[in-house]
Amino acid sequence: MIFTSLQFLVFFLIIFSLYYILPFRMRWPLLLIASVYFYMAFSFDFILDTGLLIVIDYFFGKWIAKASGRKRQHLLIAGILINVLFLLIFIYYNFISQNIGDLLSLFYSHAPLPYLGILVPVGLSYFTFQSISYKIEISRNNIRPEPNIGIYALYILYFPKIVSGPIERPKDLIPQFRIKHDFDFELMKSGLMQMAFGFFKKLVIADRLALVVDSAYKNPQAKNGTELLIATIFYSFQIYCDFSGYIDIALGASKTLGIRLTDNFNKPYFSTSVADFWKRWHITLSFWLRDYIYLPLAYSLSRKLKNERYFSVRTDKWIYYAATSVTFLLCGLWHGPAWHYIFWGGLFAFYLSFSIATSKPRKKFYKKTGITKYPQIHTFTKTIITFFLITFAWIFFRSDSITQATLVIKQIAGISIADHLQLPINTLELLFSVFLILFLILKEKFFFVITPKTTLSWATTLSLIILCCYFFGIFNYKQFIYFQF
């Protein structure tokens, strides 16, 4: 049941109506039943695996809270290892076994390691991170364990965010299920408007750009540099509109119920550096990685490395390079069991480390050129450079392998004015696609949040967005990109 289907719209309308009709004590059970049904719409088998994990994590939370000292630490490690084991079995086993088999084949002939042909539970990566943060926050005494297993299950399964996030922290979401949310007309208007524009970004922009992107990356050797460059730039906006469109629908739907989820995006393509980009893109994942991997690792290294410098480089820089590399390699691996995702993560680690290593020379260069005297030009230049660095990285993310990504880069490097465009869309549709990208940029620059002042202007704007979705949307029920992670 994807968000852009008629089935979801009917489902949401029923849940929204029942939510405010039922007495307060029946609302969280309604949301839990709705979330289980929503999840089972993908596959009945998934709910059994997820249910087992929920029960295990619920009791581990209680055990961790009761324990102290080393016992608490050991229970936390055991609980995290169970979560990691689920990921290894369902997502990474075949990738690891294949690479071990390839490595062993270099030395001697051997029988291939067994292949597991099992389905991956939808949203496993997302709710695993939520489960881990739940146990860590209990171990740090930041929250108390949830006494009601039903409320905890709802924290994991809550239908707007179960499939592709946002990755919510327990202290932010769980308390909201215990608060009575009276119907708020203004909040409903805001939620529906956000949902509508989420549908617009997905159906009208993302899925339209996907026509060009999918055609180019399906057979890049048959495409010239210009076609692949257009497809790659289109992909930057496709993946943003696809993912942020999902988040807008999730946040908007939840908002109509009075429950606030964390926004995952803040105009990421207006970033002036790669570090700034990761504060604006997939924010809940970025902060999760920062709080639970980067900072603990950096702190651990700072305690072990006592010298001020190593090889004439300050220790704090070495710590940054190491912690950043580990964090982003894991970030790449989190997105999928494939080397091109790992390379994608490593590329961002390189970007960030290179930025720190060259900070002083760049400041001197800016001072000599005098560009800092023109802040608007300086900001625009940094924004454009950052966008193309991000777009270059997306090549590895979108490709099926590092080999294919390398081929795409070679084709783009050989771009020529003599290249003829053979796109799956005609010239008018291409111009319309470019117009949509420009519209998106201007909208985010000047009207990031659509807030009509009167009910009439709200109804008019909402109707126009719905009509645009109906007349210009691509209704092929194309799955959201981040459903696969």
Give the Cα separation of 398 and 402 in Å (integer).
10
CA gap 247, 201 in Å, rounded: 11
Which residue(s) pair with 313 in the sheet?
A: 310
The rounded percent of the chain whose pLDDT value lies above 90 is 78
- Provide the whole-model pTM: 0.94
CB 129 within 8 A of CB 250: no
Burial of 322 (0-12, 13-18, 19+ CB in 10 A): middle
Please say if the pLDDT value at position 45 is more than 80.
no
Please tell me the predicted confidence (pLDDT) of residue 345: 98
> Could you give the CA distance from residue 34 to residue 31 in angstroms, rounded to a whole number?
5
By residue count, the chain amounts to 485
Question: Are 304 and 286 a contacting pair, CB within 8 Å?
Answer: no
Cα–Cα dist 78/75, whole Å: 5
Q: Which amino acid is at 369?
A: T
Q: pLDDT tens for residues 357-398?
A: 999 999 888 888 888 888 899 999 999 999 999 999 999 999
* 434 has pLDDT over 90: yes
Cα–Cα distances (Å) from 472 to 9, 459, 460, 464, 468, in that order, read 19, 20, 18, 12, 6
Q: CA 265 to CA 456: how far, in whole Å?
A: 29
The pLDDT of residue 91 is above 70: yes
Determine the Cα–Cα distance for residues 127 and 39; give it in Å rounded to an integer: 12
Q: What is the maximum alpha-carbon separation in the chain?
A: 74
Opening angle at CA 316, ends 313 and 321, nearest 5 = 80
For the stretch 215-257, pLDDT in tens is: 999 999 999 999 999 999 999 999 999 999 999 999 999 999 9
pLDDT single digits (tens) 280-302: 999 999 999 999 999 999 999 99
What's the chain's average pLDDT? 93
**Residues 164, 123 contacting (CB under 8 angstroms):** yes
pLDDT over 70 at 87, yes or no:
yes
The model's pLDDT over 313-365, given as tens digits with 9 standing for 90+, comes to 899 999 999 999 999 999 999 999 999 999 999 999 999 999 999 999 998 88
- Residue 78 CA to its chain's centroid (Å): 27
Instruction: Please say whether the beta carbons of 181 and 258 come within 8 A.
Output: yes
Tell me if the bond preceding 166 is cis, omega within 30° of 0: yes
pLDDT of residue 309: 86
418 — pLDDT class (breaks 50, 70, 90): confident
Residue 313, helix vs strand vs coil: strand
Buried b / exposed e across 59-82, counting CB within 10 Å, b at 16+? ebbebbbeeeeeebeebbeebbeb
Looking at the predicted structure, is the pLDDT value of residue 105 above 90? no
- Predicted local confidence at residue 26, as pLDDT: 96
Q: Which amino acid is at 79?
A: G
The pLDDT tens digits of the residues spanning 167-215 come to 999 999 999 999 999 999 999 999 999 999 999 999 999 999 999 999 9
In this predicted structure, what is the pLDDT of residue 477?
65
* Residue 99, pLDDT score: 86
Q: Backbone dihedral region of 267: left (phi > 0), alpha (psi from -120 to 50 degrees) or beta?
A: left
Convert the pLDDT of each residue in 60-86 to its tens digit.
999 999 999 999 999 999 999 999 999
